[in-house]
Amino acid sequence: MSAVRYEVDGNVAVLTVDYPPVNALSAAVRTGLGEGLEKARNDDSVEAVIVLGADKTFIAGADITEFGTEKSAVKPGLRDLIETLETFPKLTVAAIHGTALGGGLELALGCHARVAVSSAKVGLPEVNLGILPGAGGTQRLPRLTGVETGIDLITSGKHIPAAKALELGVVDAVVDDVRAGGVAFAQKSLAEGTQFTAVIERNDKISGVEPKVFEEARKRIGAKARGKIAPMVIIDCIEAATKMDSVAGLKYEQEKFQELFASDQRGALMHYFFAEREARKVPDLPADTKVRPINSAAVIGSGTMGGGIAMVFANAGIQVKLVDISSEALEKGMETVRKNYEISVGRGSMPKAKMDAALKLIETTTDYADLANTDIVIEAVFEKMDLKKEIFSKLDSVMKDGAILATNTSSLDIDEIASATKRPEDVIGVHFFSPANVMKLQENIRGAKSSPSTIKTVMDIGKKLGKNVVLAGNCDGFIGNRILQYYTGEAEFLLEQGATPEQVDRVAMKFGMPMGPISMRDMSGLDVGVLVRKARWNSLPEGERMSPIVERLAERGRIGMKVGKGFYRYEGRDKFPDPETTEIIEGVAKEYGVKRREFTDEEIELRLFAPMVNEGAKELEDGTAIRASDIDVAWVNGYGFPAHKGGPMYWGERVGLKKIHEMAVEAEKRNGPRWAPSKLLGRLAKEGKGWKDA
């Protein structure tokens, strides 16, 4: 059966792409469309063609499983089809429902006109895979929207709803029913003799654009891109559209597409794309494991995390009860929640109506009895084992059978928390990151007794909550924080050995981290750092120490940004090096007999990131992480590791596991036994293998 159905409705040929699950532009679909168009060309009764998708969506995009395979070369290619639609002697209309993304939207832009139902979304998300829309997207979309909006849409990969697409000129009409509306639009246009100019020939919105528009976009988007090349190349292509004729512009786009396609960043982002999807799968759960319905939630503790977690559920349309010890505490918590919503609305990232609806879904209470019918509870009180156990024992007595009892702990033992209940099978870690309503990671932690259905339910809910999930084993720090201590630990040793805070931060930022490890400490507060590190100081193995710089700075009141001084001195948001910090660091180096020297940026980069890879290998070895790519997902979403480097494990493999192993051998000598190379890493390095052989 063809992937494209051909039907005639009056004087309109209807080409329906029917290629589950998302009508991607695979070879079969392209062939089917090519054949359908020829049939329509030769059918004298046909005066117009509409293209639409079967089932839930228009063409959702390219078929990335065909990338780099023989199938991707099968003719007609997407560009051939677009040219056919654009120069077709009869009217061509794209009728969009669901999503028209990437190649799907590019194909629609090749049609003479576009209509969409109101729930449809369109966008060119190629930038997220390190490429650009290479079938004319950078040349056609700005011709409809204007250059500035075009730059914004294509460099962000944003999906825009139909109403916005209509306002921007991307679609010509919003219709009620995709097929009937598409046919009616075509027939009306024919009856009225409406003349459509091919998008590629419309130059009014791209003429006379000042060069400073591009300069400013490069500055603004460059600052956010953190080393990602695709957004910058997209700006070059859009500038080319304003300077070259359409043939040259399309050719330029094509060359730039090839360059990006061959880049390391594309490889890393593709890896990352699949990693996110893979991370949702838990291989050892029985096939018939049931997902429990989650229609209501409760959050215990309305502090920094609790408030944010309540927002996450409310944003997903789930009723949530927020619990704290007093109505004063709840009032304070809700004030922060409201403020955070207002910031989103003020920024334009959330419509006011959505804020109002979400706020209506959050109820507050101090009475645990109110939670009796709730499907899931997330505990987010202070990080104290006794308190958490007390709360879980209370939850055990009030919550209905089958409710999920989750903790947001960052470090405590899930099994010990579960032991406070008579139903450890329903207990699990569901770890969000701060700010919970913004950060994308949801790190679920399985306890020894967490049941398959408990695990599957919390893995499943991530999608609804708009989070990327990973499943971790129960250990100190789980997947993400367990690795973090090696990153920040090595940063501090580097300072003792002669690198400056500015240099360490600069190298991390150049690598693509949103913030350097030293500034990160200043931001979260050195007093908090000292508290978290206390337990670790006492549990260090023989022959190992941590750098006490954080403690020494805190002793002198340098507890971070909030007091205007930490590692750096602050004037407002601007930071400056401070001689007192240098004196403290030099003092520590002297005390421990550390020889100071200069470091190259390359050395610092390897020293910061290689130990993370080694610890990641240990997580694979002991089962804390199911697969290496889960560690990548955790670090990209929870800590801002650049996705265009694929995540720490992918990066490590690109650097070479042999090199990472050598670094670990050195780190053990320098820093102590916890830094020793992982056995798995040693084996893979020796055999010249990669994570897939782990």
Ligand X SMILES: NC(=O)c1ccc[n+]([C@@H]2O[C@H](COP(=O)([O-])OP(=O)(O)OC[C@H]3O[C@@H](n4cnc5c(N)ncnc54)[C@H](O)[C@@H]3O)[C@@H](O)[C@H]2O)c1
Catalytic positions = 106, 126
- Per CB under 6 A, which region of 19-27, 322-330, 483-491, 640-648 contacts ligand X? 322-330
What is the chain's Cα-based Rg? 28
Asked if 343 interacts with ligand X (CB under 6 A), we say: no
CB closer to ligand X out of 430 and 494:
430
DSSP string, 445-473: EE-TT--HHHHHHHHHHHHHHT-EEEEEE
- Per CB under 6 A, which region of 126-134, 337-345, 376-384, 685-693 contacts ligand X? 376-384
Q: Which residues pair with 92 in a beta bridge?
A: 49
Q: What does the per-residue mask of binding to ligand X show for 417-456, with x meaning CB under 6 A?
A: --------------x-xx----------------------
Asked if 535 interacts with ligand X (CB under 6 A), we say: no
Would you put residue 442 in left (φ > 0), alpha (ψ -120 to 50) or beta? beta
- Per CB under 6 A, which region of 119-127, 219-227, 403-411, 591-599 contacts ligand X? 403-411
Say how far apart CA 567 and CA 123 lie, in whole Å: 43
The values of phi and psi at residue 394, to 5°, are -65, -45
CB closer to ligand X out of 267 and 303:
303
Asked if 477 interacts with ligand X (CB under 6 A), we say: no
Nearest to 72 by CA among 27, 136, 129: 27
Closest contact distance (angstroms) between CB of 526 and ligand X is 15
Asked if 525 interacts with ligand X (CB under 6 A), we say: no
Say how far apart CA 277 and CA 679 lie, in whole Å: 28
- Per CB under 6 A, which region of 115-123, 369-377, 407-415, 629-637 contacts ligand X? 407-415
Asked if 340 interacts with ligand X (CB under 6 A), we say: no
Is the Cβ–Cβ distance between 399 and 372 less than 8 Å? yes
From 10, 161, 267, 303, residue interacting with ligand X (rule: CB under 6 A)? 303
From 46, 170, 298, 305, residue interacting with ligand X (rule: CB under 6 A)? 305
Say how far apart CA 501 and CA 67 lie, in whole Å: 43
CB closer to ligand X out of 30 and 431:
431
The secondary structure of residue 626, as a DSSP letter, is S
- Per CB under 6 A, which region of 303-311, 485-493, 631-639, 678-686 contacts ligand X? 303-311
From 344, 409, 454, 637, residue interacting with ligand X (rule: CB under 6 A)? 409
CB closer to ligand X out of 503 and 637:
637
Closest contact distance (angstroms) between CB of 481 and ligand X is 9
Is the Cβ–Cβ distance between 208 and 243 less than 8 Å? no
Say how far apart CA 67 and CA 58 lie, in whole Å: 20
- Per CB under 6 A, which region of 13-21, 84-92, 300-308, 511-519 contacts ligand X? 300-308
Say how far apart CA 348 and CA 362 lie, in whole Å: 22
From 49, 52, 300, 455, residue interacting with ligand X (rule: CB under 6 A)? 300
Q: Which residues contact 515 (CB under 8 A, 6 or more apart)?
A: 505, 508, 509, 523, 640
Is the Cβ–Cβ distance between 624 and 472 less than 8 Å? yes
Asked if 49 interacts with ligand X (CB under 6 A), we say: no
Asked if 383 interacts with ligand X (CB under 6 A), we say: yes
DSSP string, 34-86: HHHHHHHHH-TT--EEEEEESTT-S---B-GGGTTSGGGGPSSPHHHHHHHHH
Three-state SS sequence of 179-248: HHHHHHHHHHHHHHCCCCCCHHHCCHHHCCCCHHHHHHHHHHHHHHHCCCCHHHHHHHHHHHHHHCCHHH
CB closer to ligand X out of 18 and 383:
383
Can you tell me which residue has the tokens 């669901």?
98
Asked if 323 interacts with ligand X (CB under 6 A), we say: yes
From 181, 306, 424, 548, residue interacting with ligand X (rule: CB under 6 A)? 306
SS3 of 278, please? helix
Asked if 302 interacts with ligand X (CB under 6 A), we say: yes
Closest contact distance (angstroms) between CB of 427 and ligand X is 15
From 382, 538, 574, 597, residue interacting with ligand X (rule: CB under 6 A)? 382
Asked if 76 interacts with ligand X (CB under 6 A), we say: no
From 26, 138, 315, 410, residue interacting with ligand X (rule: CB under 6 A)? 410
Closest contact distance (angstroms) between CB of 370 and ligand X is 13
Say how far apart CA 552 and CA 569 lie, in whole Å: 15
From 2, 254, 304, 319, residue interacting with ligand X (rule: CB under 6 A)? 304
| Residue 208 identity | G
Q: Which residues contact 196 (CB under 8 A, 6 or more apart)?
A: 91, 112, 113, 189
CB closer to ligand X out of 414 and 455:
414
Asked if 408 interacts with ligand X (CB under 6 A), we say: yes
Closest contact distance (angstroms) between CB of 472 and ligand X is 13
- Per CB under 6 A, which region of 20-28, 66-74, 325-333, 632-640 contacts ligand X? 325-333
Nearest to 649 by CA among 686, 684, 675, 673: 684
CB closer to ligand X out of 74 and 532:
532
- Per CB under 6 A, which region of 66-74, 294-302, 454-462, 562-570 contacts ligand X? 294-302
- Per CB under 6 A, which region of 217-225, 324-332, 651-659, 663-671 contacts ligand X? 324-332
Asked if 395 interacts with ligand X (CB under 6 A), we say: no
DSSP string, 156-181: HT-EEEHHHHHHHTSSSEEESSHHHH
Interface with ligand X: number of residues (CB under 6 A) = 24
Can you tell me which residue has the tokens 């061959």?
262
Task: List strands edge to edge, sheet with 468-473.
Answer: 362-365, 319-323, 296-300, 376-379, 404-407, 427-432, 441-446, 468-473
Per CB under 6 A, contacts with ligand X among 78-137 are none
CB closer to ligand X out of 33 and 300:
300
Asked if 241 interacts with ligand X (CB under 6 A), we say: no
Asked if 481 interacts with ligand X (CB under 6 A), we say: no
SS3 of 274, please? helix
CB closer to ligand X out of 287 and 382:
382
Say how far apart CA 366 and CA 439 lie, in whole Å: 28
CB closer to ligand X out of 174 and 371:
371
Closest contact distance (angstroms) between CB of 618 and ligand X is 22
The secondary structure of residue 129, as a DSSP letter, is G
Q: Which two tokens stand for residue 366?
A: 């101090």
Residue with CB nearest ligand X? Answer: 303
Asked if 276 interacts with ligand X (CB under 6 A), we say: no
Nearest to 472 by CA among 681, 282, 694, 271: 282
CB closer to ligand X out of 123 and 301:
301
CB closer to ligand X out of 10 and 303:
303
Asked if 381 interacts with ligand X (CB under 6 A), we say: yes
Q: Which residues contact 89 (CB under 8 A, 6 or more apart)?
A: 41
CB closer to ligand X out of 299 and 495:
299
Helix axes 480-496, 517-524, angle to 10 degrees: 110
From 180, 248, 291, 325, residue interacting with ligand X (rule: CB under 6 A)? 325
Q: Which residues bind ligand X (CB under 6 A)?
A: 300-306, 323-325, 329, 333, 380-383, 387, 391, 408-410, 431, 433-434
